[in-house]
Amino acid sequence: MAVRSNIVGIDSPEALEKALRAAYYLADEGLATAAYLGLALGKPLLLEGAPGVGKTEAAKAIAAVLGRQLIRLQCYEGIDASAALYEWNYPRQMLAIRQAGDDSIDIYGETFLIERPMLAALRAPDSTVLLIDEIDRADQEFEAFLLEFLSDFQISIPERGTVRAAERPVVVLTSNRTRDLHEALRRRCVYHWIDYPTAEREARIIMMRASSVAEATARAVVAAVEKLRREPLSKAPGIAEAVDWAEAATLLNKGGARWPDAFKRSIGVALKDEEDLHFVAPRLDAMLAEATA
Amino acid sequence: MSTELQLPRAARIFISFVALLRANGFAVAPEQTTAFLAAIELLGPRDLRDIRQSALATLAPPPERRATFDRLFDLHFRGGEAIEHADDGEDDETVRLQEEGRGDEEPLLSDEANESGLTATRTEALVERRFAQLSTSDPLRRLAREAPRRLPRRRGHRRMRARRGPFADLRRTLRDSVRSDGEILRLGHLKRRQRPRKILLLIDVSGSMKSRTEENMKLAHVLVQAAPNAEVFTFGTRLTRVTRALRLKRREQALSAAAHLVSDWDGGTRIGDALQAFLAVPRFGGYARGAAVVIVSDGLERGELDALRDAVAKLSWRAWRLSWLTPLATGPGFRPQTEALVAIERFVDDLVDGGSSASIVAHVLALGRRAA
């Protein structure tokens, strides 16, 4: 199996893991393997997992490793081709028609085309990574349209013809799994389910991301966050929240607050839902005392 | 004439693993098998971990069936001694989540897999319920007929052409104007498309609702058939998503598939815990957001009232409208008597009769007429 040119110099999942680490992203074995296979086989990489486990960060790190620009397409309900592919610059077209008078003019020329993320990625497959973020938010019509794009890597613009990628672009899709994705989409991708990291890994992530945080603090935050994730919360703290919490508590501690108290006072950066705060309030003291012990 | 392609011997074990997965209800497409083989070739493989990672990445088992996938993998590649059966002690006091896709079942072994891919052994010996075959009653026919146009709708974000509308259709206007040398003779319009609102139906299947369960399940089937974005869960001591089973077109088939999934028919009721379990899974909780939520239950709660009150309050904040249909509410002057219904009364938008299919259908069809 020929390895694609886009990963020259990275010849195994371990090499990719190391490169990702240099880009400040700690990937576990599963993610490194899936990402490596995606890149080597030229298939899109589909990352699923709870909000806040680092799916988008993974895409950013992959772009950094490949030395490419990340083009992000944030999905939302009702997203359509004009937001994802291209749009015509209507005022300029109109003006051109008026100004042309009797001369003939191509109003579907390059100057009137506004490039959107997917078209941009197709036209520059060697220098970009396309991130299709939160595909589960888009509706099924868009998903069907995406299928076509991901099988052939081509886009047809009725007024201009078909744009085809010379090489398959690197595509990363993420989903929070708020709905089931179509089987056909999963099939076309290399798939990885990102779990919350192990305590050890999460503590390392915190220390890597927030250099001011002491190891003991990072471990205490990880222990507390793990407990919180087991509660039925509407928004469990993700990795970013854990990093923020460790940083905020460190800041308060330097300002004179004692330990469990510094955690407690900064809980607002970890839990951002009033209902959730209310829910854990009665047990919070015990939880934090245990985590800092 | 045999033109069968000879597979390399080394590849057979991987291909037969795919066959084993398929026999156990995993959907694996041929292109995934190809990708699996390519991945193994690419990685070496140096040890079994590489094969497992390749399989996970390319065959993409759904996360809720990951445990079954791992067990099958161990069976196939490491032999029987590697398997540890998780102790599955049944605890009536905790509500368990059941996802569709037969996640809890013992995997079929390769030998028996070929005989019948659909029969499966159940590790749990709980009640299995069979539904008698009855003809469709009038209220259900009415639901099927009227649902498409009477269920609640909301404005979506996609736009469509319209004679009149708040947005200008510049693309069409420009195209038209080219024909008239740049003169705009008519301005095209767009309006936001109407979309069906999500409907979430939660059906109490505990013992006290026994006489209604069968009719309620039939109603759920009709609803899922008529409304593509309806979601249905059953609850008693467990919470089970049955939407996928009910998507089967033929009713007998759909109901028997649902009956097979749900294992707490006619048991106790722990509504609060079941609803909490529902809310704790982000994917499920998302079904309630902005949805018309309909709970069909008598509210005879055996669990803690606090859990129930808290869960119903949360549901009500997420839902567009929360209706509680109970067989106990017989007339317009109904006042809740049971502790549970009193506790949740202030969080629900409707607390009305759910004692007959006719009344449930009438309520569901009237949802769309209410102001959003």
Nearest Cα of chain B lies from the Cα of A246 at a distance, in angstroms, of 25
**In the predicted model, is pLDDT for residue A19 greater than 60?**
yes
Whether the CB of B47 is below 8 Å from some CB of chain A: the reply is: no
For residues B327 and B295, is the Cβ–Cβ distance under 8 A?
Answer: no
Residue B207, number of CB atoms within 10 A of its CB: 15
pLDDT of residue A6: 61
3-state secondary structure B53-76: HHHHHHHCCCHHHHHHHHHHHHHH
Tokens of B169: 């259709």
Contact yes or no for A90 and B174 at CB 8 A: yes
Cβ-based contacts of B42 with chain A (< 8 Å): 1, 3, 37, 40-41
Distance CA B295, CA B290 (A): 15
Distance CA B295, CA B352 (A): 11
Residue A29, number of CB atoms within 10 A of its CB: 14
Contact yes or no for B41 and A1 at CB 8 A: yes
Whether the CB of B42 is below 8 Å from some CB of chain A: the reply is: yes
- Average of per-residue pLDDT across A35-62: 94
- CA nearest neighbour of A118 among A67, A44, A181: A44
- Do you find a cis peptide bond into B30, omega within 30 degrees of 0? no
pLDDT of residue B132: 54
Cβ-based contacts of A37 with chain B (< 8 Å): 35, 39, 42-43, 54, 57-58
Nearest Cα of chain A lies from the Cα of B332 at a distance, in angstroms, of 34
**pLDDT band at residue A291 using 50, 70 and 90 as cut-offs:** confident
Q: What is the mean pLDDT of chain A?
A: 90
User: Using one digit for the tens of pLDDT, what is the confidence trace for B251-308?
Assistant: 998 999 898 888 888 887 888 889 988 988 877 888 898 899 999 998 888 888 888 9
Cα end-to-end span (Å), chain B: 67
- Average of per-residue pLDDT across A219-244: 91
Whether the CB of B243 is below 8 Å from some CB of chain A: the reply is: no
For residues A163 and A128, is the Cβ–Cβ distance under 8 A?
Answer: no
Nearest Cα of chain A lies from the Cα of B311 at a distance, in angstroms, of 10
Enter the ipTM: 0.85
Residue ranges of chain B whose pLDDT lies below 70? 1-7, 80-136, 370-372
Nearest Cα of chain B lies from the Cα of A190 at a distance, in angstroms, of 5
- Average of per-residue pLDDT across A28-44: 94
Contact yes or no for A33 and B53 at CB 8 A: yes
The proportion of chain A whose per-residue pLDDT surpasses 70, expressed as a percent, equals: 97
pLDDT of residue A214: 93
Nearest Cα of chain B lies from the Cα of A135 at a distance, in angstroms, of 14
For residues B106 and B121, is the Cβ–Cβ distance under 8 A?
Answer: yes
pLDDT of residue B4: 56
Helix B30-43, helix B9-23: angle, nearest 10: 140
Of A78, A178, A192, the CB nearest to B158: A78
Of A100, A177, A190, the CB nearest to B58: A190
User: Using one digit for the tens of pLDDT, what is the confidence trace for A134-155?
Assistant: 999 898 889 888 988 998 898 8
Quick one: which H or E segment has residue B15?
helix B9-23
**In the predicted model, is pLDDT for residue A121 greater than 70?**
yes
Whether the CB of B48 is below 8 Å from some CB of chain A: the reply is: no
pLDDT of residue B265: 82
Tokens of B370: 């209410």
- Average of per-residue pLDDT across A170-198: 91
Backbone angles phi, psi at B206, to 5 degrees: -75, 175
Contact yes or no for B174 and A80 at CB 8 A: no
pLDDT of residue B95: 55
